[in-house]
Structure 1
């Protein structure tokens, strides 16, 4: 059960990788961006922006092979100013790379727990070094993707752990449900602490999926109720039994601000107490 829930919860890491490439394309002055995930030590190229051919699509690159395999294996960024003449890489992929017209390439690994989980590339069709601005953009993209994958891994780990506990103790799902609620609240707290807007939105989207996992198969019609992210953040922690002061500490808010968000949420949910607000939010599928 836990593996099924994890698979339903976790979106494709490739989708997050593609989103980071798009974000990089919006600010980096570079014509070609691409990348892929590292699985069992092999880099699989799957996401492309600005390419003209399909030569690179689906390439499976073993460790230390080409620029990407080298970067994934050594776990540090590297670049070549002219791919065709570089003496620092193998040339197993000259045909698809040069067929695309690529000359100068930068590759940056996405590291999670010290392991390469993906590689991001920036490339141009002239034999000129990749600029510092583009390099900075790609490194920041790799860091954001690293954080997101690490959080997804932790969510999966906790769900799997809770599934094992549930099976061993015969709790009929209670341990998993309570654990999901705890992870949901923590995930919303992490999202609030992240300054990057797109990553914050994706983390909140994952928390919404958690809520739907525990909600009834047919949640009540919400009647137009719409809670703000902050109101949901506060309610998620209230649902764990936290006091206003504890919620304030967890979310880095003032106690009066927490009270304000709680009052607002209660009003929208037509609830007269904290408990009623949590129950109503769960019935509407807004909380797990």
Structure 2
């Protein structure tokens, strides 16, 4: 009989640094923080699904005893494993009393004092990449509002991971030259440039000092030039500063709610900027907007 729960230390034997699922963890964490803020529940947690189709609990938003940290849930077992196997959300009003799931993990759930819970898969392409949980320490039903918030957060995360995957496929990890002679940055370095670019744009828009804001915008332009070669200035559509701000944040996997909070606008305003940018770039989705903006040299 295989062991259902594995401590984090037992999983670190081979290749943990290069496990592809670890690259999803920052975005999973941001999604969980957003989910907890939306629902006001005491704990949201989850983590990536590895090649063995195990959910690893690595990300937490809220108060936790640490009992869940590093636990790996096998496919088909418990709540998360069943979500991975069935590829759909599942809600339980009392985890330890539920007859619809197996109970190999009751001891860690009990140690956290968790009861009502929803678990939602994050599916990119045909692969379950992560599972998000939102939970309470009471047996009161979670309600439609909480379940809907979990679903929306998972859908946003799916789009954000798809954006990052698509962008990563366009970068040469060895930093070799493209046919036109432009040198592409290694993927890890390029991601750092993109994060710095987005943070500087957010900071610049919050400044009252016009001279300092212009200097930061000039630095942003230099960082933008460090990415993939643009298709040519004449072919690049005009995007407003705010549209670029929003796209720069979306490119890092931020949800609309997170972008709105950082830019000091409403979620509807963020959606409006995204629609405008997509129209100007002649695309239909946030994924395509980010890719098109990078192709035109508007984003690093």
Alignment TM-score > 0.5, same fold: yes
Equivalent pair of 1:101/1:125 in contact (CA under 8 Å): yes
Rounded to whole Å, the distance in 2 between the matches of 1:70 and 1:37 is 15
Rounded to whole Å, the distance in 1 between the matches of 2:193 and 2:82 is 31
Matched, 1:61 2:73: yes
Equivalence for 1:247: 237
Higher helix share: 1
Q: Which residues in structure 2 correspond to 1:58-207 (within 5 Å)?
A: 58-160=70-172, 173-175=177-179, 178=182, 180=184, 205=195
Rounded to whole Å, the distance in 2 between the matches of 1:35 and 1:176 is 43
Equivalent pair of 2:178/2:184 in contact (CA under 8 Å): no
Equivalent pair of 2:22/2:48 in contact (CA under 8 Å): no
Which portions of structure 1, spanning 4 or more consecutive aligned residues, are displaced by more than 3 angstroms?
174-181, 206-209, 228-239, 248-254
Q: Helix, strand or coil: the match of 1:12?
A: helix
Equivalence for 1:266: none
Equivalence for 1:226: 216
Cα drift, residue 89 of structure 1: 0.6
Rounded to whole Å, the distance in 2 between the matches of 1:226 and 1:45 is 39
Q: Helix, strand or coil: the match of 1:120?
A: strand
Rounded to whole Å, the distance in 1 between the matches of 2:232 and 2:161 is 29
Matched, 1:45 2:57: yes
Larger radius of gyration: 1
Equivalent pair of 2:197/2:220 in contact (CA under 8 Å): no
Equivalence for 1:218: none
Rounded to whole Å, the distance in 2 between the matches of 1:229 and 1:129 is 51
Could you list the per-position Cα deviations for residues 212-244 of structure 1 after superposition, in whole angstroms to 9, with x for gaps in the alignment? xxxxxxxxxx99722289979998899421525
Q: Measured at CA, do residues 228 and 143 of structure 1 come closer, stay the same or move farther in structure 2, by a change above 3 Å?
A: farther
Q: Measured at CA, do residues 92 and 136 of structure 1 come closer, stay the same or move farther in structure 2, by a change above 3 Å?
A: same
Equivalent pair of 2:121/2:131 in contact (CA under 8 Å): yes
Q: Helix, strand or coil: the match of 2:215?
A: coil
TM-score of the aligned structures, taking structure 1 as reference length: 0.60
Equivalence for 1:13: 24
Unaligned runs of 5+ in 1: 1-6, 167-172, 188-201, 210-221, 255-281
C-alpha RMSD of matched pairs (Å): 4.2
Rounded to whole Å, the distance in 1 between the matches of 2:213 and 2:88 is 51
Rounded to whole Å, the distance in 2 between the matches of 1:176 and 1:109 is 41
Unaligned runs of 5+ in 2: 1-17, 200-211, 240-276, 282-296
Cα drift, residue 205 of structure 1: 2.5
Rounded to whole Å, the distance in 2 between the matches of 1:43 and 1:176 is 43
Equivalent pair of 1:71/1:77 in contact (CA under 8 Å): yes
